[in-house]
Structure formats: C-alpha cells, structure tokens
Amino acid sequence: MKSIKFKKMVATVAFTNTLQTTIPATALYSVMEEHFLNNKTGKIPKLLFIGYDGCIANALTTRTNIDESAIFTLAKSGGLYLGKTGGAKKGGQETSTAPGWASLFTGTWATTNGVYHNDDELAKTISPIFYTLEFKQIKSKFCFSWDPHRSVTYKNVAEMAPQIFCQAQDDDGTFDAMKKSIEDDSTQAIFGILEYLDHAGHTFGFSVSKEKYIEALSDSERVASKLIDIVNKRKTLDLEDWLIVITTDHGGVNRGHGGRTIMESTIFFASNKKIFYST
C-alpha cells in the first residue's frame, strides 16, 4: 500500500525522469568534478551543494508555493531528477547517512569506497569531492553538524586537510558556516548538510502525513533559499559560474531508514543547471 501511494505521489511532481529511470547517487560526482576541471564558460567555477539529510522524494509534493521552494527555484532554470541510493544492487549498502553521502561525494558505492554502514571509514584510496578539489588548489569547505562525518567516515581526510571541515553544533551553525564560505571570495566549493528532516523523521516519522516532518522540509527550504540569495547577491556574480545542487542521502519509512524499500532508497537531485540527460 505504502509503495503504491509513494509512486503515485512521486508521479505528481515534475521530475525529468521516472522511478524506472532513476539516476544513481554516484552520478553526481563527475558532474561536480567536470564543473571545475572542464569548465568552458571562461568564468570562475563555483559550487553550492546543499544536502537535506533524510528527505523522502514524495515530500516534494507538499511544496504548494513553488516560488518559495529552493528546490523548485533551482528546477525552474535547471532540472529536478529522481535518484536512487543503497548500492548498485538493492541492499548493497544501507540507506543510511554515511553510505548515502559517501556515494554522492565519491561517485562510488560501498563495494568500492567501503562505507556500508555509518561506522565504516572511507577507503584510503578513495577521495571525496571536497578533497579532490582542495588537492587541486580549489578551496573547498564541508559544513555539517553530524559528528561521524569527521570522526568516522572522513577521519583520514580530516587529518590530512582539517581546513576543509567546518563542524557546527546544529543547523543554525551549519548555515552560518556556509554563509561565511559563500561570502569568502577565495572559497570555490561549499558543501553543507542540514539535519532538520532526519531529526524530524526519526522523532515523528518520515511521512508527508507528519506535520513536523513537513515543517522540517520548510525549514530546510528556508535555509537553502537564504543561501541561494547570498550567492545571487555576490558583487562578482557576473564573473562566476555557479552550480547549485540540492540532494539527499536517503529517504525513510516509519521512523527509520537503512533498508531497501523504495521509500528509503529513492532520492532526488535539484539543480540550477541541466545536469543529467535522459538517454
């Protein structure tokens, strides 16, 4: 029942693709890397990556005023795509926070990067996008409040390049760190993850019928809209080529996630540019 309802709701949002043609979480890495390493605009490439931790894809159907939605603002000029996580094969890795972000940040599944669960460290041979860029003298920041990003998954990277990591107490702190990084002329790539939705999902349920969960989506959207505004107000905006992406690490069902259901493994990508093409 749940799955049928989910499919019907997802179909009502203007996604570029369908649940049959979902884009793997691993596909975003090369889009971000190409934006910097193969940018032909003649402008300074910049990136704003906003993660809504634990956002179920059908929650997007609750955005009635799309002018106030950061996701739909981006989609208007770019695209909105359905994606999938959880491994190349269903159940290949948990639909949990560390594996979800690791696939987005490295372009690989756990079979390659080693992050099957939240307590797994990233394989030392694998570079997350913020380290790839930083290593190429493209100043990058990763802002978050979930401690295991630094203490577990990217522990090794944080030891090699601590300047990338901005750990905050909560989402307000993450916003402040991201704002500062956007306003800093020399920072080119800003990654940030907001925890509103994951917290609400674990407490009240990952469901469009849970008011608190939908409020958490509104909170995430408000913060993302503010961040996009800060980009748009940059004095040197005309000289810069911004790629802005909003995505999520996993969905959820009842008050949890980690399994292989369609509600947990379906994700989305919103972008101010057309970043994926249907074949």
Shortest CA distance to 234 belongs to which of 178, 177, 174, 185?
A: 185
CB of 127 to Zn ion, least distance (A): 21
Considering only residues 3 through 62, tell me which ones interact with Zn ion, judged by CB under 5 A. Answer: 53-54
What residues from 172 to 211 belong to the interface with Zn ion (CB under 5 A)? 198
> Dihedral of the CA atoms 190, 238, 172, 191 (nearest 10)?
-10
Strands (E), the chain: 23-24, 44-52, 79-84, 140-144, 165-167, 189-194, 240-247, 266-271
Judged by CB under 5 A, the stretch of 60-68, 82-90, 95-103, 127-135 that binds Zn ion is 95-103
Binding of Zn ion at residue 249 (CB under 5 A)?
yes
Helix (H) or strand (E) segment spanning residue 202: helix 196-204
Stretch in the footprint of Zn ion (CB under 5 A) among 9-17, 26-34, 212-220, 244-252: 244-252
* Comparison of 53 and 94: residue with beta carbon closer to Zn ion: 53
Going 8 to 209 to 252 to 214, the CA torsion angle's sign is positive
Q: How far is the CB of 248 from Zn ion (least distance, A)?
A: 8
Query: In the complex with Zn ion, which residue's Cβ is closer, 144 or 242?
Result: 144
Question: Min. distance of Cβ 10 from Zn ion in angstroms?
Answer: 19
Q: Among 22, 26, 73, 97, which residue interacts with Zn ion (rule: CB under 5 A)?
A: 97
CA distances from 106 to 19, 74, 86, 160 (A): 23, 23, 14, 17
What does the binding site for Zn ion look like in residue numbers (CB under 5 A)? 53-54, 97, 198, 249
